[in-house]
């Protein structure tokens, strides 16, 4: 995974885990107020939405980086920086609006993760649009762009008459599959369950949705992101193995031979 693809995943730990630890320890949120719940929900949703959408765009940008690098360098501000800022600002503005200004009343639960859910997600139209816009569409973009990238690389090397194509590109395949696989495991279950719950609610789907049971899967990508970073940076992996070998290598003390 490109290190630039996860600028907000690591923010989950200091920004959100402290509130979660307090909730799990006390059985209720740190501050029993709707204002705090709105803040926690906005922060959680914004970071999650932004990280997934950035990953989706950077999956497309990776293709240009490999096959159209001069174009990317020439138009770096338009192609790289502006979209990066857009996928940070746009989710924040959207989440702030739907949580605080939608014509519905939020009923936060002070004993649930992120105070339960906001009212806009329970509406069939806004709830479905939010999940599709925020999570499902970026995941589909990721798998299409990465599949196209892999196919283009393999086709190009086949035309160059290179042998053992799959073996030579196994690291790239492993990185892309691990990235897409972790994000799908993290988000697809909760996204599909929430959409189904908006149209055909059942006791099980409501329990999974409103108590954020499936949301625990989102931290799969957060917890395993260091491993994918190591796979993406060979120099870092070599340095880690070198340090481990030096640490585990038995130390031998020099023998002192007494003078005659």
Mean pLDDT in consecutive groups of 10 residues from the start of the chain, 260 residues: 44 62 80 87 86 85 82 87 91 92 87 82 84 85 84 74 57 68 74 74 68 65 68 69 76 54
**Contact status, residue 35 vs residue 63, Cβ threshold 8 Å:** no
The per-residue pLDDT for 86 is: 92
pLDDT at position 16: 65
**pLDDT of 164:** 58
pLDDT at 22: 79
Residues near 101 by beta carbon (within 8 Å), at least 6 away in sequence: none
**How many helices, marked H, and strands, marked E, lie in the chain?**
12, 0
Estimate the crossing angle of helix 12-26 against helix 219-232, to 10 degrees: 150
| Nearest Cα residue to 116 out of 17, 197, 213 | 213
In the prediction, which pLDDT does 89 show?
93
Closest C-alpha among 112, 130, 114, 110 to residue 122: 130
pLDDT the model gives residue 8: 46
Count of CB atoms situated within 10 Å of the CB of 149: 19
Q: Report yes or no on whether pTM surpasses 0.85.
A: no
Domains and CATH numbers, the chain: 3-233 (1.20.1070.10)
pLDDT score for 160: 66
- pLDDT value for 82: 92
Task: Give residue 7's pLDDT.
Answer: 43
């Amino acid at each position: 995974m490109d290190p630039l693809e996860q600028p907000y995943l690591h923010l989950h730990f200091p920004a959100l885990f402290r509130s979660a630890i307090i909730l799990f320890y006390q059985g209720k949120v740190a501050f029993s107020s709707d204002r705090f719940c709105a803040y926690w929900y906005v922060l959680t949703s914004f970071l999650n939405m932004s990280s997934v959408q950035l990953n989706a765009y950077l999956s497309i940008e990776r293709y240009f980086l490999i096959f159209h690098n001069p174009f990317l360098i020439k138009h770096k501000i338009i192609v790289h920086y502006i979209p990066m800022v857009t996928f940070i600002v746009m989710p924040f503005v959207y989440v702030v609006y739907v949580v605080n200004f939608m014509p519905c009343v939020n009923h936060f639960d002070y004993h649930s993760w992120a105070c339960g859910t906001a009212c806009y997600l329970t509406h069939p139209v806004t709830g479905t649009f939010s999940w599709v816009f925020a999570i499902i569409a970026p995941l589909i973009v990721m798998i299409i762009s990465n599949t196209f990238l892999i196919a283009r690389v393999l086709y190009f090397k086949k035309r160059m008459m290179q042998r053992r194509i799959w073996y030579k590109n196994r690291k790239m395949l492993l990185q892309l599959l691990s990235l897409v696989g972790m994000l799908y495991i993290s988000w697809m279950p909760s996204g599909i369950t929430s959409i189904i719950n908006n149209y055909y609610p059942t006791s099980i789907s409501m329990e999974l949705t409103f108590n954020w049971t499936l949301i625990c899967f989102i931290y799969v990508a957060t917890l395993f992101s260091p491993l994918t970073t190591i796979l993406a940076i060979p120099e870092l992996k070599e340095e880690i193995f070198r340090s481990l070998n030096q640490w585990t290598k038995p130390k031998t003390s020099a023998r002192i031979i007494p003078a005659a």
